[in-house]
């Protein structure tokens, strides 16, 4: 494998991070002038704009692009990206056929609540997958992808008149949780994942005073980026906290159908039923066809759970104007009613992870996740002082492979950034491309050791 020349000065931000590394080799926080695009420019010169927009953080990819703006990737190697978690397997033929066969739906306004046939199809899938029976009329809503619903749910649930409202998020996390909380007028509290406990969230990190102000908790199982699945005991703890303090739980389960062992990941509805919570009080589950069926461009998912919360959410969505096209609904029915394409998709991921994970395990702290299509890997501490950003930029410069630094997916909380020293790799391309990327990473690390 041909290796490019040493990059010399990769980026000023990297140099700054190296300069502030302590004598123990632990990277300290980057000075504020090097937190490139950490937040948007001030809105003070735009009177009349929502001031909460100024609280938003730049997206991880935006921050990484800013840090990598001066990097010149090795031109001798074609670019391979393991950064963006966008499915690249082909969309199922039956979904494409359903889209083309239902174009007459374009001539009608869709209902916000969705067509009864779609709600019934989703209810049927939930029953087959989790053994849970829901009322399709009152407990299920189709949504334009789980991302849109994760954001809008906070706007419906959080009381904007409460000056001290809190939304609790896992850490590291999908940044929509934070943005939804901030634009709802709440502040965020983070629960760090613990590598010693299969990256389980340590809910005990939140004190009682904070729980008392909490209105919404985001959970992600299987987790992004860790791939960890919440066990029944963890759900029980979260349900008991919800009962005590009255907050809503939003369970993001969009990776639930990509798993590597015989048993499918436990879902929140399934956990609630096992614990006798048949009313699913204060529980909302969000899922999507994007990963399950490789159709991220359709923007199709669902929200299901507590009928009282769903009623309020439907009212919000009626004014929000977020009805799903009848054409997309027809294709979604076809997808939810078929498991053959899901099984084939899962088999493709299993083969890919079986080929790639052992290669990377030779040089990284990484193992097969419970589920999802990410590898969450720890880099050797002697490489760039364990600095995940510096390592990622060097990998891009030397071997033209893009990965996402873990520290950009997390916030400093409880004295640490739980993403520091790790990288997220999305194995979404075909097996050959992912294997080549893994081989380059192995060569890169060995060249630095």
Q: Which residues pair with 201 in a beta bridge?
A: 193
CB atoms within 10 A of CB 129: 18
Share of the chain above pLDDT 70, in %: 90
Reported as type and span, the H/E element at residue 201 is: strand 200-201
For residues 68 and 421, the model is more confident at 421
Angstrom distances, CA of residue 407 to CA of 18, 88, 305, 352, 378: 15, 25, 33, 26, 11
Mean pLDDT within 9-22: 39
- CA distances for 79 relative to 5, 75, 380, 400, angstroms: 16, 9, 24, 5
Q: Where are the beta strands (DSSP E) in 263-331?
A: 283-288, 301-305
pLDDT confidence of 16, banded at 50, 70, 90? Answer: very low
387 CB burial (10 A radius; 0-12, 13-18, 19+): buried
Query: How many angstroms from the chain centroid is the CA of residue 379?
Result: 21
Tell which residue, 251, 221, 231, 198, has the closest CA to residue 376. 198
The total of other beta-carbon atoms located within 10 Å of residue 287's CB is 28
pTM listed for this prediction:
0.89
Tell me how far apart the alpha carbons of residues 337 and 98 are, in angstroms, rounded to a whole number: 12
Average pLDDT on 401-423 reads 96
**Which segments within 204-343 are labelled E, that is strand?**
214-220, 248-252, 283-288, 301-305
Spatial contact of 31 and 21, defined as CB atoms under 8 Å apart: no
Paired sense of beta strands 80-81 and 401-402, if any: parallel
Looking at the predicted structure, is the pLDDT value of residue 266 above 50? yes
Q: What is the per-residue pLDDT across 155-194, written as a single tens digit (0 to 9) for each? A: 999 998 998 999 999 999 999 999 999 999 999 999 999 9
Residue 432 tokens, joined:
């050959």
Task: Give me the mean pLDDT over the 220-237 stretch.
Answer: 97
In this predicted structure, the answer to whether residue 293 has a pLDDT above a threshold of 60 is yes
What local confidence, expressed as pLDDT, does residue 45 receive?
Answer: 54
pLDDT mean across residues, the chain: 90
Comparing 269 with 2, the larger pLDDT belongs to 269
Q: How confident is the model at residue 71 (pLDDT cuts 50, 70, 90)?
A: very high
- Position 449 scores a pLDDT of 81
- What's the pLDDT score for residue 46? 62
**Token pair for residue 251?**
């369970």
For 106-110, 351-355, 435-439, which range has the lowest pLDDT when averaged over its residues?
A: 106-110
* Beta-carbon-side half-sphere exposure of residue 270 (alpha carbons within 13 Å): 17
Say which residue, 376 or 1, is predicted with more confidence. 376
The 10 Å Cβ neighbour count of residue 358 is 13
Q: What average pLDDT does the segment 354-377 reach?
A: 97
pLDDT at 27 exceeding the cut of 70 = no
The rounded distance, in Å, linking the Cα atoms of 202 and 64 is: 28
**pLDDT > 50? residue 280:** yes
In whole angstroms, give the CA distance from residue 219 to residue 223. 8
Q: How far is CA 52 from CA 40, 182, 261, in A?
A: 11, 7, 43
The answer to whether 102 touches 444, Cβ cutoff 8 Å, is no
């Amino acid at each position: 494998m041909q290796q490019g020349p040493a990059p010399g000065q990769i980026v000023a931000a990297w140099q700054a991070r190296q300069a502030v590394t302590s004598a123990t080799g632990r990277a300290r926080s980057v000075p504020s002038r090097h937190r490139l695009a950490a937040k948007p420019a001030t809105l003070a010169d735009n009177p009349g704009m929502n001031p909460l927009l100024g609280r938003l953080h730049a997206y991880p990819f935006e921050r990484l692009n800013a840090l990598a703006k001066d990097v010149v990737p090795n031109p001798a190697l074609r670019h391979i990206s393991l950064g963006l978690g966008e499915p690249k397997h082909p969309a199922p033929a039956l979904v494409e056929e359903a889209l083309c066969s239902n174009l007459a739906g374009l001539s009608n306004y869709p209902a916000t609540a969705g067509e009864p046939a779609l709600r019934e199809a989703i209810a049927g899938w939930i029953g087959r997958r989790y053994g849970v029976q829901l009322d399709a009329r009152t407990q299920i809503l189709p949504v334009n992808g789980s991302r849109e619903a994760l954001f809008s749910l906070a706007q419906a649930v959080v009381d904007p008149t409460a000056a001290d409202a809190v939304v609790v998020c896992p850490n590291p996390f999908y940044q929509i949780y934070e943005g939804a909380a901030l634009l709802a007028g709440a502040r965020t509290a983070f629960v760090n994942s613990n590598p010693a406990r299969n990256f389980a969230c340590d809910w005990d990190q939140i004190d009682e005073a904070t729980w008392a102000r909490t209105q919404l908790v985001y959970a992600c199982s299987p987790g992004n980026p860790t791939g960890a699945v919440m066990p029944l005991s963890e759900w029980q703890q979260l349900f008991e906290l919800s009962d005590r303090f009255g907050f809503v739980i939003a369970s993001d389960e969009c990776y639930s159908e990509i798993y590597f062992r015989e048993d499918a990941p436990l879902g929140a509805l399934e956990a609630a039923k096992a614990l006798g919570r048949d009313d699913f009080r204060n529980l909302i589950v969000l899922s999507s066809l994007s990963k399950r069926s490789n159709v991220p461009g359709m923007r199709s998912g669902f929200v299901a759970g507590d009928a009282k919360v769903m009623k309020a959410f439907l009212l919000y969505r009626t004014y929000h104007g977020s009805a799903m096209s009848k054409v997309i609904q027809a294709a979604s029915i076809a997808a939810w009613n078929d498991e053959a394409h899901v099984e084939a998709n899962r088999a493709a991921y299993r083969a890919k992870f079986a080929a790639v994970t052992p290669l990377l395990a030779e040089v990284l702290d990484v193992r097969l996740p419970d589920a999802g299509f990410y590898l969450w890997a720890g880099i050797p501490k002697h490489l760039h002082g364990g600095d995940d950003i510096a390592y990622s930029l060097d990998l891009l410069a030397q071997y033209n492979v893009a990965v996402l630094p873990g520290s950009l997916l997390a916030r400093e909380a409880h004295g640490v950034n739980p993403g520091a020293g790790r990288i997220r790799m999305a194995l979404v391309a075909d097996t050959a491309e992912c294997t080549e990327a893994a081989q380059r990473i192995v060569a890169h690390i060995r060249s630095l050791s």
